[in-house]
Chains A and B, each alone.
Chain A
Amino acid sequence: MHEWSLALSLVQTLDRWALENGVQIKRVVLSVPSPAQLDVSILTEAFDTLKRESRLEQAKLEVRVRSPRYRCRACGYEFGQEEVDQQIRQLMGQYGEEYPLHLIPELLPTFVKCPRCGSHDIEAELSIKVDEVETI
């Protein structure tokens, strides 16, 4: 369901943008951080349903799932997604459908600890963003 909310936000935002700029949209690249655990096929399906009768009618959605780099602000340790995966899996097991990072990946520091010192003071680029828009 989170995928639909996100697709709705994306379509509405880009449709408005396209209208303001007098263009149609041909291609959209959406970048999402992997700990959001979004289902790319549901996201694409939602996008393709919601884009009808908008300036995105012809648009193709490409979802880039990126693995963030993390840095602990307490001890300085830098680490990759593979050192976080175990904690993410546990969290998903705990919340199931209600997994909070689906909706707000920036909440990650609340749930994830630095693998070296255990601090929650973790820095990473976790936002959901539009990387590219191709118009006609």
Chain B
Amino acid sequence: MRPLLESAREKLRRRKVVAVMSGKGGVGKSVVAALAALAKPGSALVDLDLEGASAPRLFGLSGRLHEISKEGIEPLEVGGVKVFSLGGIVGDRYVVLPGYGQAGAVEALLAFAKLGDSDPVVVDMPPGMGEELLALSRITDFLPVLVTTPSKASYGVVKHLAEYLAEIGKKPAAVVLNMAYVDCGGSRIYPFGRGEDARRLAESFGAPLYELPIDPSLEDYVGRIHEYRGPIAYVVRQMVEGL
């Protein structure tokens, strides 16, 4: 028996787990996950990008370590969100792990995270379809939120992810088309096309599609994402309310 795997399962059993994923890297998963957690008071954000650890960077928590109490990993709290990240365990250094190490880290993080009454639990997934995805699937029945950009390169990967998820009996709870348009004085310009592929994909799974604009000001909020009130946050809030 693996007590940590069992604890992780039990801990998430009665909570809504929203997993923000893509397959593709750099499409905005971490931004969407952070804003999704911020959109709902009482959320937790679990960063399962073990090697990337974006959540601490977005919230300005880099280098801060989790306190470990008798009850487990104490969250880092920002903007009403309980943040948990491997970055808060190993500190400011690189992480390199074979598959079994990634699985162990995912299980332990979730088993020990002091979630309190946090609900939903938003999970920021790494790019790719590797061990973290398999490990999360062993632990909980998550709601997938798929993030893509209008680029064909991104769409192709996300489509494969959606097909895989369908095979294991999950359908996307939402599809997010990030960096879809630029707002130019009230009119929308779609520099990469209208994202018809993503729209069809969402439709084929009966999932709602949310378009996020390119917002150059977002960069200024890296390190204090909890203060961002721009259009991306607005749409992500709608998405969260629809879940």
Q: A13 near B7 (CB under 8 angstroms)? A: yes
Residue on A with the closest CB to B1?
Answer: A130
Q: Cβ of B70 and Cβ of A4 under 8 Å apart?
A: yes
Q: Which of B18-26, B104-112, B120-128 contacts A (4 or more CB under 8 A)?
A: B104-112
Residues of B within 8 A of A26 (CB): none
A1-B69, A9-B4 in contact; A127/B101 too (CB < 8 A)? no
0 or 1 for each of A112-136: is its CB under 8 Å from B? (1 = yes) = 0000000011110011111001000
B65 is an interface residue with CB less than 8 A from chain A:
yes
Residues of A within 8 A of B1 (CB): 13, 17, 129-130, 133
Q: Which of A9, A16, A110 contacts B101 (CB 8 A)?
A: A110
* Inter-subunit contact B101/A106 (CB<8 Å): yes
Task: Assess whether A5 is in contact with B101, with CB atoms less than 8 Å apart.
Answer: no
Contact of A63 with B by CB under 8 A: no
- Contact between chains at A127 and B65 (CB < 8 Å): no
Interface digits, B66-91 against A, CB 8 Å rule (1 contact, 0 not)? 00111111000000000000000111
Which B-chain residue is minimally distant from A104 (CB atoms)?
B108
Question: Is A123 within 8 A of B90, CB to CB?
Answer: no
* Cβ B89 vs Cβ A104 within 8 A: yes
Would you call A106 and B3 a contact (CB within 8 A)? no
Q: How many residues of A contact B (CB 8 A)?
A: 38
Contacts of B90 in A (CB 8 A): 100, 107, 110
A104 to B112, CA, bound (A): 10
Contacting B at CB under 8 A, from A25-43, are 30
B6 at the interface (CB under 8 A from A): yes
Question: What's the least CB distance linking B64 to chain A, in Å?
Answer: 11
B10 is an interface residue with CB less than 8 A from chain A: yes
* Structural contact, B100 and A1, CB atoms closer than 8 A: no
Which A-chain residue is minimally distant from B98 (CB atoms)? A109
Partner of A127, one of B2, B10, B89, B97: B2
B71 close to A107 (CB less than 8 A)? no
Residues of B within 8 A of A84 (CB): none
A105 contacts B104, C-beta separation under 8 Å: yes
Interface residues of A in 8-67 (CB under 8 A from B): 8-10, 12-14, 16-17, 30, 46
Question: Are A98 and B65 touching (Cβ within 8 A)?
Answer: yes
When C-beta atoms are compared, the residue in chain B nearest to A46 turns out to be B70
List of A residues within 8 angstroms of B109 by Cβ: 104
B61 on the interface (CB 8 Å rule)?
Answer: no
Interface centre among B2, B69, B97, B109 (most CB of A within 10 A): B97
Given contacts A107-B90, A109-B98, contact A8 B70 (CB under 8 A): yes
* Smallest beta-carbon distance A135→chain B, Å: 13
Smallest CB–CB gap between B195 and chain A, Å? 38
Q: Give the 3 A-B CB pairs with smallest separation, nearest first.
A: A106-B104, A4-B70, A130-B1
- 12 chain-A/chain-B pairs, Cβ below 8 angstroms: A2-B68, A4-B70, A5-B69, A5-B70, A6-B3, A12-B7, A13-B6, A107-B95, A123-B98, A126-B100, A129-B2, A133-B1
